[in-house]
Structure 1
Amino acid sequence: MHHLLRLLVLVALVAGCNVSRAPAPGGAVVASAAQFVPRFGDGDPTDWPGRAPWAYQVHGIDLSRWQTDVDWRAVRQSGVSFAFIKATEGGDHVDPAFDQHWRDAAAAGVARGAYHFFYLCRPASEQAEWFIRNVPRDRNALPPVLDMEWTPFSPTCTRRPPPEVIRAEAQEFLRRIERHYGRRPLIYTTPEFYRTNDMGRLGYPMWLRAVADHPSTVYPGQDWSFWQYTGTGRVPGFSGDVDINAFRGSRADWIRFAGG
């Protein structure tokens, strides 16, 4: 009987060593027997009708000049694995916070990639060269991203070319940056832009915005790599809202993806 009791105690101790710690809503950390999976707070939470974002193991953020004074150490400790950082827009604009975010994310151990906001009134070749001029070629970086969405409030460009023209311009941009950086780029897009322009025909990995339902419902039949599930996320290290994203694969898939 004493031998059996000692064996049960030993089993319990070994099991306790495998308990990981996962953030609760708002970034608080709680003990969990599951793998470390972050679940952040949200200023405007969604009652997910389908599969919820925290069903996925790997989460990250995207940000630009509007996120300032970031405590990247707190961001990393909260469970953020990656950050997509706005680098450029059009053919003559660089996000003024890009360099700082790029350096600080790397120093904190957060995998980072750069994205370009596509300006529908400028040639794709010009925009690709502008991105290449301003974003370092770093073998440790995530794939570059082309952000394609409508700009209804732009004071200088409300142009809406036909879908075939938009796809051709996107293809030109993507080919040029893939050749330069040696990694297949991602396309970020929104539901309306995706549907209007049949963006799935381009055949590139997709980063999809869907803040009210799962991407499988919002983009039926479309494969995807990243899911932007909120624009009002609350992540430790930020003083205000930030976009939060989920990576589709497992943690092992993430390690392979991030490693190129």
Structure 2
Amino acid sequence: MKAALAACVAFAAAVNAAVQGFDVSHYQSSVNFAAAYNSGARFVIIKATEGTSYIDPKFSSHYTGATNAGLIRGGYHFAHPGQSTGAAQADYFIAHGGGWTSDGRTMPGMLDLESSSTSQCWGLSASSMVAWIKSFSDRYHTRMGVYPLLYTNPSWWTTCTGNSNAFVNTNPLVLARYSSSPGTIPGGWPYQTIWQNSDSYAYGGDSEIFNGDLAGLKRLAQG
């Protein structure tokens, strides 16, 4: 994964390339994957699970639609830190669509780290949150052979992890910032691997931009 991270940033620095993508969940009941591909999108990240008891009801149909359209695709897990261990949630995610295989079309799973409707940091201290994320990440890596992507925003990461740099050399960053530029990157990452730049994408879901060219995106999918 360190090699993949280095390769991604090298491509970004050398050619300033970008690849359009997006993410979806059951909130998007109908997504035009073929139109997204025809417009230039090449990847999509699809909600699979939450905690250890919820499976997104649209995951299977979204995944099939993305596959049929020729998109590189993968699943994401909405984290419930503190409600069960990170390892247990990684196992649940893998069992319900979040697994990875080196077929060149499957993104490593993504861990969605953000506030709940009632708790910003899920009742955990910064050190406990970092340990929880590490538990999830390490279990995913042990079972799948790659580290998961980590999705977050600068405010949440700073508040809930103390702006930890513990994942810089292992986990690619998916940065949520709805602005004209990624801005300051949290957590010591030198760059974002994917930038969620808007909560509105023409063909469904949120807009995401891979920080590199298509060859770099395929390398990420290959692990």
TM-score by length of 1: 0.70
| C-alpha RMSD over aligned residues | 2.1
- What pairs up with 1:74-153 in 2 under 5 angstroms? 74-120=35-81, 121-135=83-97, 136-140=99-103, 141-153=106-118
Measure the CA separation in 2 of the matches of 1:57 and 1:114.
Answer: 21
Identify the structure with bigger relative contact order (alpha carbons < 8 Å, sequence gap 6+).
2
Alignment partner for residue 226 of structure 1, among 178, 194, 214? 194
Q: Percent identity?
A: 31
Measure the CA separation in 2 of the matches of 1:129 and 1:173.
Answer: 9
Please identify which structure carries the higher strand content.
Answer: 1
Measure the CA separation in 1 of the matches of 2:42 and 2:185.
Answer: 25
Alignment partner for residue 211 of structure 1, among 178, 182, 200? 178
Q: Is residue 72–residue 105 contact of structure 1 (8 Å, CA) maintained in 2?
A: yes
Deviation at 1:213, TM superposition (A): 4.6
* Distance change >3 Å, CA 66–CA 142, structure 1 → 2: same
Q: Secondary structure of the residue that 2:175 maps to in structure 1?
A: strand
Which digits, 9 at most, give the CA deviation of each residue in 1:195-222, with x for residues without a partner?
A: 1112432222111111125224354853
Deviation at 1:78, TM superposition (A): 1.2
Alignment of 1:201 with 2:166, yes or no, is yes
Larger radius of gyration: 1
TM-score by length of 2: 0.81
One-letter amino acid of the counterpart of residue 207, structure 1: V
The runs of at least 4 aligned residues of structure 1 exceeding 6 Å deviation read none
Gap regions ≥5 residues in structure 1: 1-54
Give 1:173's aligned residue. Answer: 136
Measure the CA separation in 2 of the matches of 1:113 and 1:192.
Answer: 25
Q: What is the count of residue pairs matched by the alignment?
A: 199
